[in-house]
Structure 1
Amino acid sequence: MSWGSTASSGGSFGFAEFSHAGSALKGFRSTSGRASMLPSELANDFTESMVQHLMETLEDDEEVTYKFHGPMHRALHLAAYCRPFQLFVLATVLLNIITISLETSAWLTKKYGPWFDLLDAVYLSIYTVEFLLKIGATPIAYWKNGFNLFDFFILLMSYVQFAIEELYAGPLSNVTYIRLFRAARAFRALRTVSFIPSLQTLVKAVLHTLFAVLNLAFLILLIDYVFAIAGYYIFESIDTGDETNHFTSLASAFVVIFCFITAESWHIIIEPLEDINSVPKLWLPRLFAVLIVFVGHFILSNLFIGVVLQNLDEATLEAKAKDYLKKQARFGKKKDRLKHQQRRQLKELMSVAQGAQVTVDDVIKKVVGHLRHEEIVPIAELSCDIEWFAAFLKSLEVEELAMYQIQQLQFELSEVLCEMGEQRLQQSITHYHQGF
């Protein structure tokens, strides 16, 4: 907030004065027990609400974070990171997802194949323009963002696919590795993460969680391996008459044990191994399956899910804390810049009045029309006189004390009404018992 600043600069007169008033309110204390608590809370609410309002208005203030090196740099930054362009690229990504889905239809591909190729070239051109704009706006910071690196990787894969299809068009278009590059286009759907901050926080939390649960995942694989070896030596010799015995090799046994851990159709897998003519062969497969499901599914799988959820919650809180610190840093930079702007504009106003008998009050009257009309004090009554500020702070204290006294009266009135209600209730109960 600054002297004579316009609405576009995001500030107005009175930041230092309001901070001073908030500090004065915070230091106010009353002699009574409850009065010593309430004014402090009111002062905290006053200052915190004002700071929160300023931080919300400064969230998207890129001028605080970036230093532009000329009009062209500023224009590139505005074009690359402005809201309309971001929404346009997001809409392009969504349309690209729809187009890729339609290309899976053989009938549509045969009929509209050239149009699909043209749309793919248009999408690729838009992604390229976005990449060039961001590189021009932030040539170094672009490569420090993991989501930007992912977008660049997708763009690079798209160009590789485009080049290979042009070189090997025709009979070689269905070669396996060319189809793999076409399948890689599905990763373009993940570009939507770059435009949604909440999804970015979630992805970061998931990646952070993956590194935290590697030990537990390794333990699950070890348990899977142990039961796979045991199942191979126990059930490999059982002849079921068909290929329903999945323990004939270590690889198939490993996959079957993993199905047991997930509790997916384990009873169907174990039924062919049961022999109703032999009690041990009847109960051994069931006991083996129950043991795997209990250890792998009920213990390890749920433990894995619990660790993932806990780490996900911690990573989310950490991301929110980092975001809060970034906002605080931007707020501090903005506050310092506005203070310097205050001093500079005041010097300019005072330099105009040099050589003339002009007071500070006269200078303020000249800038009244440039101030915002959202102040706690009427603009026409502004003054730089110390006595005026002292009276203003005193009036705030009196107003706060009066508000507190009104609240106390309301509390006392509520207590009296409660006592009267209890007395009437007691009288009604007494009359009711006397009637019997």
Structure 2
Amino acid sequence: MSWGSDTSGADSFGFNSFSMSMGSGLNSTRHSQRLPSELRKDFTESMIKQLLEQMEDIDEVGYHFRGTFHRTLHTIAYSRIFSSFVLGVVMLNILTISLETSSYLTIHYGAWFDMMDAIYLAIYTVEFLLKIGATPIAYWKSGFNLFDFFVLIISYVQFAIEVFYSGSLSNVTYIRLIRAARAFRALRTVSFIPSLQTLVKAVLHTLFAVLNLAFLILLLDYVFAIAGYYIFGEIDTGDETNHFASLAGAFVVLFGFITAESWQNFVAILEDTSSVSGLWLPRIFAVLVIFIGHFICTNLFIGVVLQNLDEATLEAKAKQYLKRQSQNGKKKERLSRQQARQLKKLMSVAQGAQVTVDDVIKKVVGHLRHEDMVPITELSCDLSWVQSFLHTLELEEMAMFQVQQLQFELSDVLCEMAEQRLQQSIAHYHQGF
């Protein structure tokens, strides 16, 4: 068929990002245009190879790059190698901060610690500049990036104070607080570990979700505190903090009941010193507080945490899935545009040429890539179609073989019938004489 004879095939071109877009104007009535048997294996292996390389050869198109420099900046800033390097620096910084807690090491190696801190700060600054240059707007939309920026600002404030102010600053309270804030650098590891990010998000969601539960516990504590004040307020427990003589002391006692810590000793004191309530009332009071405050409210809190953790995990998986779907869709669009250009170029070169499927396969087998196009007029050949096509050819060969065997048998039968008729004719001829 002629490649340039039907340009409408480009309009009906179907593309699948996981398939090889190739085909020809195969006429179903022309059985001579078939895939040669000796090329099937090589052709299938070539298809599988290009399908595996197809997604790797395409650049990320989820972000619009302004040029080669911007693309390079984005590749470096968000590469696994660079992220692993920064994570290693953070872990080393944690070790250095831990060593600075030793007075002996600080006195003898203080200059070395200052130099290492300056190196860490320089690396964090380079990371910040790379990410800002790669994604100047998207960087500020991430809460983890904002936390990293906060830690960087605190580090620069400490560095500026130590450089521009002399004297013994170690005794100044706010300087010691700023130095203590360096411990937040350890939390930067969360920015590099997705599973930790999911856990942190779940904890943050839990903090907002348990406010109602905390308010309920506070109301229950208030009810039991007032009840304990009027029932056990006159009992002298011998402890200035654990007693029901005041509302504040009652809250302290109830907190011990809810956490199930040392409540047995306090109930024993109430039983020994209580002359009005007897032995049963302190025990009933303790059982009610522990059952409602400890078993019910505490388990509700744990349930809320687990539920939020599960929801955060599902949300993270859903976002990752949608991100992959969006990237794959954009890759499909880009490949479609590239292949449309290749199709136009190919059709302009091959106009008027008579090419069969055999010629196409022989030409492209072993060299076909995702950007190489063979125009389609009547059918589209993805991987599933080619496999079905090869299987159909095998069935056709088997059917042809069976037809040939049947033809041989028919020929033998016809030969036998011809011999019998010939013998009968000869016999009649002799009888006539």
State the Cα deviation string for residues 17-47 of structure 1 (Å, max 9, x = none): 7xxxxxxxxxxxxxxxxxxxxxxxxxxxxxx
Partner of 1:201: 198
Choose the corresponding residue for 1:226, options 215, 220, 223.
223
Equivalent in 311, 329, 333 of residue 332 of structure 1: 329
Partner of 2:181: 184
My pick for the range that moved more, 274-283 or 184-193, is: 274-283
Task: Find out whether 1:292 has 2:326 as its counterpart.
Answer: no
Per the alignment, residue 175 of structure 1 pairs with: 172
Is the contact made by 1:64 and 1:334 (CA closer than 8 Å) also made in structure 2? yes
* Alignment-derived partner of residue 272 in structure 2: 275
Please state how far the C-alpha of 1:317 moved relative to its aligned partner: 1.7
What are the residue-to-residue correspondences of 1:414-433 with 2, within 5 Å?
none
Match of 2:261 in 1: 264
Distance 1:388 1:298 in 2: 65
Of the candidates 333, 355, 374, which is equivalent to residue 359 of structure 1? 355
TM-score, with length taken from structure 1: 0.68
C-alpha displacement at 1:136, in angstroms? 0.5
1:65 and 2:66 correspond? no
Post-superposition offset of 1:135 = 0.4
Partner Cα distance (1:79, 1:275) in 2: 73
1:151/1:191 contact within 8 Å kept: yes
Structure with the largest fraction of helix: 1
1:320 aligns with 2:322: no
Contact persistence 1:100–1:186 (CA under 8 A): yes
The one of 14, 32, 39 aligned to 2:20: 14
Classify the secondary structure of the residue corresponding to 1:371.
Answer: coil
Unaligned runs of 5+ in 1: 1-10, 18-49, 374-378, 401-436
Give the 3 Å change call, closer, same or farther, for CA 84–315 of structure 1 in structure 2: closer
Instruction: State the shift of 1:312 in Å.
Output: 2.3
Partners of 1:274 and 1:167 in 2: CA distance: 66
Equivalent residue runs for 1:356-435 within 5 Å: 357=353, 359=355, 362=359, 365-371=362-368, 393=388, 395-396=390-391
Determine which structure has more spread, i.e. the larger CA radius of gyration.
Answer: 2
1:153 aligns to what? 150
Q: Which moved more, 1:77-86 or 1:316-325?
A: 316-325
Distance 1:345 1:262 in 2: 72
Would you say the 8 A contact 2:62–2:327 is kept in 1?
Answer: yes
**RMSD of aligned residue pairs (Cα, Å):** 3.7
CA 1:392–1:123 in 2, change beyond 3 Å: closer, same or farther? Answer: closer
The 8 Å contact of residues 201 and 316 in structure 1, kept in 2 or not, is answered as yes
Q: Distance in 1 between matches of 2:392 and 2:208?
A: 55
Name the counterpart of 2:346: 349
Name the aligned partner's letter for residue 184 of structure 1.
A
Checking the alignment, whether the CA contact within 8 Å between 2:241 and 2:249 is kept in structure 1 is no
TM-score, length basis structure 2:
0.69
Q: What SS is found at the alignment partner of 1:370?
A: coil
Q: Distance in 2 between matches of 1:290 and 1:235?
A: 15
What is the alpha-carbon distance in structure 2 between the residues aligned to residue 222 and residue 260 of structure 1?
A: 15
- Cα pair 1:194 1:200 within 8 Å, conserved: yes
Letter in 2 for 1:359: V
Alignment of 1:117-128 (within 5 A): 117-128=114-125
Q: How many Å apart are 1:266 and its aligned residue?
A: 2.3
1:44 corresponds to: none
Deviations 1:191-246 (A, max 9, x none): 11111122222222332333333212221122223323333444443334453634
* Cα gap change, 1:265 to 1:111, in 2 (>3 Å): farther
One-letter amino acid of the structure 1 residue matched with residue 300 of structure 2 = L
CA distance in 2 between partners of 1:127 and 1:258 (Å)? 44
- Cα distance 1:329–1:279, how it changes in 2: closer, same or farther (>3 A)? same
Cα offset for 1:305? 1.3
Report deviation, 1:370: 3.1
Call closer, same or farther: CA 1:63–1:285 in 2, change over 3 Å. same
Query: Shift of the alpha carbon at 1:173?
Result: 1.8
Q: In the aligned structure 2, how far is the partner of 1:391 from the partner of 1:128?
A: 53
Q: Can you list the C-alpha shifts for 1:280-301, whole angstroms capped at 9, x where unaligned?
A: 2654443322221111011111
CA deviations over 1:363-392 (Å, ceiling 9, x no partner): 66544453369xxxxx9xx99685996896
Letter aligned with residue 20 of structure 2: G
% identical aligned pairs: 69
Q: Is the 8 A contact 2:225 2:254 kept in 1?
A: yes
> Residue 217 and residue 388 in structure 1: after superposition, are their counterparts in 2 closer, same or farther (change >3 A)?
closer
Given the superposition, is the C-alpha separation of residues 178 and 252 from structure 1 closer, same or farther in structure 2, using an over 3 Å criterion? farther
Are the structure 2 counterparts of residues 344 and 365 from structure 1 closer, same or farther at C-alpha, using a change threshold of 3 Å?
A: farther
- 1:35 corresponds in structure 2 to none
What letter matches 1:101 in structure 2?
A: S
